[in-house]
Amino acid sequence: MRIPIMSGNWKMYKTPAETTAFFAKFRPLVEKSSHCEIVICPPFTNLDAAVAAVKGSNIRVGAQNIGWAKEGAFTGEISGPMILAVGASHAIIGHSERRQYFNETDETVLKRTQAALEFGLTPIVCVGELLADRESGHTEAVLAAQFQKGIAGLTEQQFAKIVIAYEPVWAIGTGKTATPEIAADTHRAIRAQVRGKFGKDAADSVRILYGGSVKPDNARILMAQPEIDGVLVGGAALDPVSFASIVNF
Ligand code: PGA
């Protein structure tokens, strides 16, 4: 049984005060949501406020990135021990916006994933193809390359602790969701990669989330696909009512 993870990525939105206000509304709406794990990933500057606001609840807090070193001369980076020290438990790694605007590569995704695991955080590792890749029929090849150069560098023990998020870049923030069939097919392809490298048990147990224009009105149909083990939500996770309705699909 793969317990679904309903996760939110706030990107570069909200102040600490707005974070506190969000959770005041959101918490009661998901108090009984025991069918899934709930993870919200605010900007680093709000981790503290978020952890305080979810104390005693079923909601977990994650970062949106993680430095690969424990500490050192890495201006602008935040390390695993720092994230752990504020009480967060997860870290998104390799989001397409980091790949697109901040030179994130499969190699650095692997380093950050290894760091998250070393310091006891659960990595949510993002993969996904561009529109041009899909239109030219290269989706599976692109995903396979991302997998081989990134996640495949983990040991079996490390792999058992990660979560994968499949986010087609053409569906992020565009209002164009992948159809449930496209998402499920692609999840199957990713799971086949996992099976090839880490074996059947690993493939059967890894949770693969879908992300890209998930909204309250399409969450149910996406979650109805047995291949989809949860969601990573951007825009619709900023509003407590809409994210709660996604969580409670
Ligand atoms: P979106 O973003 O839900 O706004 O499309 C998803 C993501 O980037 O994780």
List CB contacts of 225: < 8 A, sequence separation 6 or more: 180, 183, 184, 187
Which of 7, 167, 170, 243 most suits a substitution to test ligand 1, by most atoms within 8 Å of the C-beta? Answer: 167
Supply the range of the domain harboring residue 113.
5-247
> From atom 3 of ligand 1, which residue's Cα is the shortest distance away?
234
Q: The domain spanning residue 56 has which CATH number?
A: 3.20.20.70
- 7 SS3 class: strand
pLDDT recorded at residue 111: 98
* Any ligand 1 atom below 6 A from CB of 212: yes
pLDDT for 177 equals 87
| C-alpha 172 to ligand 1 mean position (Å) | 5
pLDDT at 175: 87
Q: What is the pLDDT of residue 200?
A: 97
pTM (whole model) above 0.95: yes
Question: How many angstroms separate the alpha carbon of residue 155 from the centre of ligand 1?
Answer: 29
Out of 64, 124, 233, mutate this one to test ligand 1's pocket (max ligand atoms within 8 Å of CB): namely 233
Closest CA to 35 of 241, 189, 249: 249
Quote the pLDDT of residue 33.
97
Q: Distance between CA 89 and CA 185 in Å, rounded?
A: 30
Which residues in the chain come in under a pLDDT of 70? none
Tally of domains in the chain: 1
Q: 177 CA to middle of ligand 1, Å?
A: 10
Nearest atom within ligand 1 for CA of residue 126: 9
Nearest to 220 by CA among 205, 231, 212: 231
